[in-house]
Amino acid sequence: MYAMRRPRVEDADAIHELLAAYETPVLGAPDMTLDDVADGLVEPDFDRDKDGWLVYDAGGGLVGWAWACRVGDSDRVIIEVIVRPGASGLADELWDIVIERARELGAERGHDGVTVDVDVYRADLAKRTQAEGRGFEPGTSYHRMRIDHADPVQPPEPLPGLTLRTGEDEETRREAHLVYQEGFAEHFGFVKTDYDHWYARRQGMSVNDWSQLTLALFDGRPAGVVIGGDDFVSDEDCGYVATLTVLPEFRGRGLGRFLLLHAFAADAARGRKGTILHVDANNTTPALGLYESAGMRQIMAIDVWRRRF
């Protein structure tokens, strides 16, 4: 009844259409953009020849898309299963396929077991049921936050001793990478990566813009970083804060709020309608409270379901 093959880069449009057909009944509108799909197909940790599956019905229509993607050399693997509404009996088979591939990815890297994560829109009750039925349990939740920029946004007042550098040069990027690694070390699902791997992943993203990386230094010492991107420009005309962190020794000085407001002002200056970010609801820092106090509101929740195999 169904036929499978491996994905190719040129399949991005068809996959995007399938995702829209899947997401619209759940969310009321598509969420993933064509850029999201295209970037995922060239993700350095994703091997299209081994880690992805496209499924077609008897008429040649794309009805399924599933993948397993390693996270660096860690024992963590992220999976996804998308089935067009009405394609009966396909979801169970794809879940089995990607879980087995996740096990293989762990073994290939020398791990005794593998930690498998799947992101589930909170509104997607059917996928939640599928995850629960396979023994997955809640890991954490991410809130998608947004603020609108209806009026001009003034940059925040400078902090004493603070200087800013943007990411067009390699020295700044390398320092920003170190701040990111240390600042997120205790966060859910964080996997340490070297600079070359981190740079390659970001450089390969069509939404990346190194000028939207801002490294903050206190008295010449790297203290925090905010990394923006164009992830939500094509569909929402909004800027995106992909990363915001402050090193532990510099917390409590207002630097996190400064970098957030700096990002708001930069997005508004680019003519963006707003700024969007994701925050772990179980963040080890009071980030959620910071974003809410700055005027951001939750517009979506995405739960991470996890199982150890």
Task: Find the domain containing 51 and state its range.
Answer: 3-135
Do the domain assignments include residue 140? no
What is the C-alpha separation between 234 and 171, in angstroms, rounded? 30
| Residues 56, 252: Cα–Cα separation, whole Å | 54
CA distance 83 to 107: 28
Which residue is listed with tokens 């905010």?
226
The reply to whether 307 falls in a domain is no
Q: pLDDT band at 98, cuts 50/70/90?
A: very high
Number of structural domains found in the chain? 2
Q: What is the pLDDT of residues 222-253, one digit of tens each?
A: 999 999 999 999 999 999 999 999 999 999 99
The CATH number assigned to the domain holding 172 equals 3.40.630.30
Same domain, 246 and 189: yes
Judgement on whether residues 192 and 259 belong to the same structural domain of the protein: yes
Tens-place pLDDT, residues 214-223: 999 999 999 9
Last residue of one domain, picked from the residues 81, 108, 135: 135
- pLDDT score of 189: 81
Helices (H), the chain: 12-27, 34-41, 48-51, 90-108, 125-133, 170-183, 195-203, 233-236, 255-269, 287-293
Residue 126 lies in a domain: yes
pTM of this prediction exceeds 0.85: yes
* Average pLDDT, rounded, for the chain: 96
Length, in residues, of the chain: 309
Same domain, 68 and 215: no
Could you tell me if 12 and 149 lie in one domain? no
Give the Cα separation of 66 and 139 in Å (integer): 21
Flag whether 193 is in a domain: yes
**308 in a domain, yes or no?**
no
Q: Are 82 and 64 contacting, i.e. CB atoms less than 8 angstroms apart? A: yes
| Pair (194, 298) in one structural domain | yes
**Domain end position, chosen among 114, 135, 156:** 135
12 Cβ neighbours under 8 A, 6+ residues apart: 34, 37, 38, 41
Model confidence pLDDT, tens digit, residues 108-135: 999 999 999 999 999 999 999 999 999 9
Asked if residue 239 is part of any domain, the answer here is yes
Q: Is residue 290 part of a domain?
A: yes
Of 165-169, 181-185, 269-273, give the lowest mean pLDDT range: 181-185
